[in-house]
DNA sequence: ATATAATTTTAGACAAAGCTAAAAAATAAA
DNA sequence: TTTATTTTTTAGCTTTGTCTAAAATTATAT
C-alpha cells in the first residue's frame, strides 16, 4: 500500500502532532526523521497528493483522517511486536525499539491479527503506551509526569516518555519499572530534583528523570 | 549490510545453483526474480563488485563463499519465520511463504537467535526443508522423488518441491502431509501416474504430484 | 518599520533499482 | 561455415528518496 518511507513519515507526524494542535513544522519533522528539511518538503507534497495529510506551504502539515488511521495501524504493529519481543523472545525494554521499527512495516493483516491473539490481546506495550485495536481505537491512560507531583503524593509508574536505551537502562539499574509505586518524599524547588520512595528504597532523581516518567495517581 | 534487493538476488542464485554445477544464467535469474534480463545484469555486476558472486560476462554467475554464507543466513531466517508462523500463529503451510519473504530481511542477530531458541531449534521448516544453523551448517536429507519409487516400494513423506499455495492446498485436501507413510500400490507406465496408499486410503495421483513430493525410504 | 535571522521551499543532482530498445556475443541450424 | 536464433549486455530513461545550494517566505529584533 504505502512505502516504508511514507509509513515512517506518517508515524512521525502522528507522534509530533500530539504535542500541539498547530501543524507539524518541516524542521520538526526533519529532526524526527533524521533528514533534511528539503527532503521533508518533497515527501510532504507526495503525502498530500495521496490525501494522507493536509499541507499548505509554510504552514506545516496535519494528518488527514486516512493518514491518521494509517499511522495508527503502524503504531499498533510497532507496539505489538515490542510486546512479542519482550514477552516471548526475552528482549529487554531498551532493546526492542529498532527491531520493531523494521517489523512494523511487514504487510499482512493475518500476521498482525494472529500475533495479537497469540499475545492475548495486550493493551499496552513494554513502555506503557497503549496499543490501538484493529479499528484504531485505544484508551489513553490518564497519567501525569512525576515532575508534576508534590511532596507527599504517590502513584503508580505507568509509562515512560523517553524510550531511549540509555534512560531505560538507568531505570533498570535503579529498579524502577512499570507498575511500581512511587512516593515523593521530598522535592527540591531549586532544580526540581526529587527524593522518591520506590519499593523499600529511597532514591534521589534529577529533573531529567522526573519529566520522563508517567504516574497514575 | 545488504539491500533487500541484493538479499533476494543472493537467495535466488543460491536456490538456482543447486540444480546444476554450471553458472546461473541471466535469464534463469530474471525468471526467478520476476524481472528483466537487463536488470539482472546490472545487479549481478553490483554483487560482483561487492565480491558476493563470481561473474564473467556471458558466462553466468556463481556465489562466492561470502555470498553463499549470506544466502544461507537469509534462508535460515526465512525458514525459521515459516516455522514460527505455522507453529505459533496458526498459519497453514500454504500461507507462510510471502510473509516469510518479507520477514527474512529484518536485521537483528539477536532476533533470529532468540526466535530459534523460542521455537526450540527446529531442524526443518513446514515444507520439510532444512534450516541452516547460525554458522550456515545444515543436513540435507537423503530423499528421493515419489516418482522414482517403483510399485511396492514405500517411504515417508519428508518434503515438497513445489511450495505453491495451489499444490499445498491440493495436498491438504487429500490429507497428504509431512510424516505420512506412502506406499506405491501401482504405477502406470504410460503417464507416470500412481495409485498410492496413504493412511487408510488409496488414491490415484498424477505425475505433477509425484515429481513434487520427496520421500525418505 | 526596517533590517536581520530563521524557516521553508525550489532547483538541480545523485544513487538504487527498475524498464525498453538496440547492439553484441554465443548457440543452433542450414 | 555461413546464417539465423537466442541470450546477454549496453545505452539511455524513469521513479523514489535523498542531498546541497540558492531563493522565497515568515518571524524576530532593533
Ligand atoms: Mn519504521
Ligand atoms: Mn514502545
Ligand atoms: Mn525476500
Ligand atoms: Mn519453506
* DSSP states of B40-107: HHHHHHHHHHTTSEEE-TTS-EEE-HHHHHHHHHHHHHHHHHHHHHHHTT---TTTSHHHHHHHTT--
pLDDT of residue A19: 85
Kindly give the distance from the C-alpha atom of residue B202 to the centroid of ligand 2, in angstroms, as a whole number.
Answer: 54
B109-118: average pLDDT: 98
A4 touches strand D (CB under 7 A): yes
Residues of A in contact with B114 (CB under 8 A): 89-91
Q: How far is CA A148 from CA A77, A129, A199, in A?
A: 31, 19, 20
- Which of residues 79-118 of A have CB within 7 Å of strand C? none
Mean pLDDT throughout B187-204?
94
- Asked whether residue B100 carries a pLDDT value surpassing 90, the answer given is yes
pLDDT at residue B140, as a whole number: 87
Residue pair A53/A17 in contact by the 8 Å Cβ criterion: no
B42 Cβ contact partners less than 8 Å away, ≥ 6 residues apart: none
A70 min Cα distance to partner chain B (Å)? 20
Residue A26 has pLDDT above 90, yes or no: yes
Q: Is the pLDDT of residue B115 over 90?
A: yes
Q: Which three cell numbers stand for residue B148?
A: 522414482
**Contact status, residue A217 vs residue A146, Cβ threshold 8 Å:** no
| The pLDDT value given to residue B110 | 98
Asked if the model's pLDDT at residue B141 lies above 90, the reply is no
Ligand 2 center to A125 CA (angstroms): 6
pLDDT, residue A120, reads 98
Residue B121: pLDDT over 90: yes
Check whether residue A35 has its CB closer than 7 Å to nucleic acid strand C.
no
Share of chain B above pLDDT 70, in %: 100
- Domains observed in chain A: 4-63 (1.10.10.10), 144-216 (2.30.30.90)
Sorting pLDDT into bands at 50, 70 and 90, what band is B19?
A: confident
Average pLDDT on B110-135 reads 98
Band (A4; pLDDT cuts 50, 70, 90): very high
C-alpha cell read off for A178: 512499570
C1' of C13 to CA of A39 (Å)? 14
Q: pLDDT tens, B43-97?
A: 999 999 999 999 999 999 999 999 999 999 999 999 999 999 999 999 999 999 9
E strands present in A96-212 = 144-145, 154-160, 181-187, 194-198, 201-205
Which of A85, A95, A107 has the CB atom closest to B102's CB atom?
Answer: A107
Which pLDDT score, from 0 to 100, does residue B116 have? Answer: 98
pLDDT one-digit tens code per residue, A33-81: 999 999 999 999 999 999 999 999 999 999 999 999 999 999 999 999 9
CA dist., res. A127 & res. A95, Å (int): 11
Q: Which residues surround ligand 1, an ion (CB under 5 A)?
A: A 8, 101
B130 pLDDT band, cuts 50/70/90, is very high
Name the phi and psi angles at A213, rounded to 5: -120, 130
Amino acid at each position: 500500500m504505502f512505502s516504508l518511507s511514507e509509513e515512517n513519515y506518517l508515524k512521525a507526524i502522528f507522534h509530533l502532532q500530539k504535542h500541539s494542535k498547530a501543524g507539524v513544522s518541516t524542521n520538526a519533522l526533519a529532526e524526527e526523521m533524521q533528514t533534511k528539511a528539503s527532503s521533508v518538503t518533497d515527501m510532504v507534497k507526495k503525502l498530500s497528493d495521496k490525501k494522507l495529510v493536509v499541507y499548505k506551504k509554510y504552514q506545516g502539515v496535519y494528518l488527514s483522517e486516512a493518514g491518521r488511521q494509517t499511522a495508527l495501524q503502524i503504531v499498533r504493529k510497532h507496539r505489538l511486536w515490542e510486546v512479542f519481543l519482550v514477552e516471548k523472545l526475552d528482549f529487554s525494554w531498551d532493546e526492542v525499539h529498532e527491531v520493531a521499527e523494521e517489523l512494523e512495516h511487514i504487510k499482512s493483516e493475518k500476521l498482525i491479527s494472529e500475533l495479537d491473539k497469540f499475545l492475548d490481546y495486550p493493551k499496552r506495550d513494554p513502555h506503557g503506551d497503549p496499543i490501538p485495536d484493529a479499528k484504531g481505537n485505544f484508551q489513553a491512560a490518564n497519567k501525569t509526569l512525576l515532575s508534576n507531583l508534590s511532596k507527599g503524593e504517590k502513584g503508580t509508574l505507568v509509562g515512560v516518555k523517553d524510550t531511549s536505551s540509555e534512560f531505560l537502562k538507568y531505570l533498570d539499574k535503579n529498579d524502577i519499572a512499570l507498575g511500581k509505586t512511587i512516593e515523593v518524599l521530598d522535592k527540591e524547588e531549586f532544580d526540581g530534583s526529587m527524593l522518591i520512595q520506590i519499593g523499600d528504597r529511597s532514591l534521589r532523581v534529577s529533573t531529567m528523570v522526573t519529566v520522563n516518567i508517567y504516574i497514575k495517581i
